Structure 1
């Protein structure tokens, strides 16, 4: 589970369970492959037959098979014992594949390491495979995994493994490499452009409220994009070209868009929908080139523009911790100039309110 509340009792127990599991887990492990089970069973049967019959040829074959097993264990240990590993995690989005990059260095001066896999201790399905790591060389391997929920996921142990040389056994070695994966909320929710001074708008699954006001000077026409206000459709041009066309207005660039996310809600689908609405609004502002910032009970991101600003806002949203006992959200500027995103409608006086409901919270 993502670590959204490190101080909570549940998170402390989860961390304790992880420490106990790592303490009980041996740093070196060996697993039998299917071929290894057959080979080992055959060795046992051959040994029983050799002892029962006293046949020298059977003893000779048994010795060869046991030597084969011993050589396999020794070579697989040599592949892993001098390997160094580093991890780099790209920013991830909930529900989408995320890339983890592992950098391996072979500290052995003479012997290369063959057929090495690297992956997280608790993610057996996400493994990076490297065919060979030459002595003293660095090699990069990549793996993909999916985190279904936003949050901050602790990464503590990297498991290195190899089935070299004969594929009979899989030797594993754990390496402690502390880190974390920051998983952003989704930014693909269909939400229209916020207008804190605009008229009241209603949408299925989300509620918006605001006051009438200026919308800026008319700039021209452009093709319709998902989330545009239907009131802006220019029907004569739409009928002439056969595709939806909307009016576009200049925005006042001197005033930043403040997104205020109210964390006063229990964790669940509706709360996650509120985080995704805030992320989608921020992504829309970044695409338009608007200046935008974020305020919650726990964090505040100063207004800015561009992709870097969007990353800062998404990082803050990934760490946002919804809870019923959160204090009142204090806006950084007058509330009438802010856009409130909440799991439920609470207060009047905001420039515009995006409310997540059960309809928007479902279907994750």
Structure 2
């Protein structure tokens, strides 16, 4: 039931419109031609304002670029607005999500040209949020009214969990988790046996760049190492719980442990009832894990968690009671300590 066009009064618009009504009453009561002339001019301003703003908004096209966000932190959404009008510039254009107060502003868009608006928005909890409608608005030309137009632009934004929750390192018993796992090759962190050279990939350690070969071939080339089995840390998140505060705490514990592993240069993997992320290291691996955590869905009827290796060689993170037989356990009730 949301109309495609909406008109809101600015403060100046309320005064101007109220003055027009009072002037009309006075003109009718007195029959003064000068008052009628002034009333006609004011009504003409209102009509011209509505016509010009409509001509400007109806030919605007918009595209949205939403980066990944972190829960509780400001995230920037970029709107690329193009003016399809061949003669009339677009002035004072605002763009933002429908039913959201966050807006980006473009002072002017020349005919046939484009402009960029940036709006900051905060999502309090992790997850995948659908984005459906972009609202374009303007107070052009006189600032009396704010006209809005909705444009359907389907999309979504992935909100990662926080990675700054204070968590301890796995206890010595959990060190066995680092002595298992798959053979892993070619990412940042502690080095194993040298294997060869390969093209650079996002998340690789800059220390691994082979500068002589890079200069010769014209693109970044890195040294590739065989990962030692002692470097793979398996994090297992149990989804058998209700979607509540404890579940969100468990997700943040996994994110915090993974971020700490990246800072140490360790390889790590993630396993849940729904998906599995093979061991890796570096910023790219952390992004893969955070994407999975953003989509993690807790439910009491989830199947039993099957770890990729023996439970005694993995680190369990749970929102319920502490498990037994695992190399180490992080319980959400303990806050990751």
User: Aligning the two structures, in what range does the TM-score lie when normalised by the shorter sequence?
Assistant: 0.7 to 0.9
Question: Once superposed, which parts of structure 1, at least 4 consecutive aligned residues long, lie more than 3 Å away?
Answer: 210-215, 251-255
Work out the CA distance in 1 between the residues paired with 2:169 and 2:41: 74
State the Cα deviation string for residues 60-112 of structure 1 (Å, max 9, x = none). 00100000001111111122111111111111111111111111111111111
Instruction: Give secondary structure in 1 for the equivalent of 2:3.
Output: coil
Q: 1:118 aligns with which of 95, 110, 120?
A: 95
Confirm or deny: 8 A CA contact 1:253 1:290 kept in the other structure: no
- 1:34-45 superposed matches below 5 A: 34-45=11-22
| 1:109 to 2:91 alignment | no
Task: Provide Cα deviations, 1:205-246, integer angstroms capped at 9, x if missing partner.
Answer: xxxxx588999xxx9xxxxxxxxxxxxxxxxxxxxxxxxxxx
Please, what TM-score do these two structures have when normalized by structure 2?
A: 0.82
Q: Is the 8 A contact 2:178 2:234 kept in 1?
A: no
Aligned pair 1:32/2:9, yes or no?
Answer: yes
Counterpart of 1:176 in structure 2 is 152
1:113-140 per-position Cα deviation (integer Å, ceiling 9, x unaligned): 000000001212x100110111111211
Whether the 8 Å contact between 2:178 and 2:313 is mirrored in structure 1 is no
Corresponding residue of 1:206: none
**Counterpart pick for 1:273 among 228, 241, 249:** 249
- 1:95 paired with 2:72, answer yes
Query: 2:167·2:335 contact (CA, 8 Å) conserved in 1?
Result: no
CA distance 1:311–1:213, change in 2 (3 Å): closer
Shift of 1:344: 2.3
Q: How does 1:69-148 map to 2 (within 5 A)?
A: 69-124=46-101, 126-148=102-124
Query: Residue 299 of structure 1 aligns with which residue?
Result: 275
* Aligned-residue offset at 1:287: 1.6
How much does 1:51 deviate? 1.1
RMSD: 2.0
Classify 1:211/1:287 alpha carbon distance in 2 versus 1 (closer, same or farther; 3 Å).
closer
SS of alignment partner, residue 170 of structure 1 = strand
Where does structure 1 lack aligned partners over 5 or more consecutive residues?
A: 1-23, 200-209, 220-250
Alignment of 1:155 with 2:151, yes or no, is no
Tell me the secondary structure at the aligned position of residue 64 of structure 1: helix
Report SS of the residue matched to 2:151.
Answer: strand
1:314 alignment partner, one of 284, 290, 302: 290
How far is 1:268 from its partner?
A: 1.2
Distance 2:97 2:229 in 1: 45
Give a deviation string over 1:167-218, Cα, whole Å, max 9, x none.
10000000000111111111011112225xx24xxxxxxxxxx588999xxx
TM-score (norm 1): 0.76
> Aligned partners of 1:355 and 1:162: how far apart in 2?
51
Task: Tell me how far apart the structure 1 counterparts of residues 229 and 136 of structure 2 sit (CA, whole Å).
Answer: 52
Q: Any idea what SS the aligned residue of 1:265 has?
A: coil
Distance, in Å, in 2 between the alignment partners of 1:212 and 1:173 is: 59
Aligned 8 A contact 1:253 1:291 in 2: no
Question: Compared with structure 1, are the counterparts of its residues 30 and 148 closer, same or farther at alpha carbon in structure 2 (3 Å cutoff)?
Answer: same
In the alignment, is the contact (CA less than 8 A) between 2:26 and 2:35 conserved in 1? yes
Classify 1:95/1:213 alpha carbon distance in 2 versus 1 (closer, same or farther; 3 Å): closer
CA distance in structure 2 between the aligned counterparts of 1:186 and 1:65, rounded to whole angstroms = 54
C-alpha displacement at 1:254, in angstroms? 4.9
Aligned length: 290
- TM-aligned CA deviation for residue 162 of structure 1: 0.3
Offset at residue 143 of structure 1 (A): 0.8
Identify if the C-alpha distance between structure 1 residues 252 and 192 changes in structure 2 by more than 3 Å, giving closer, same or farther.
farther
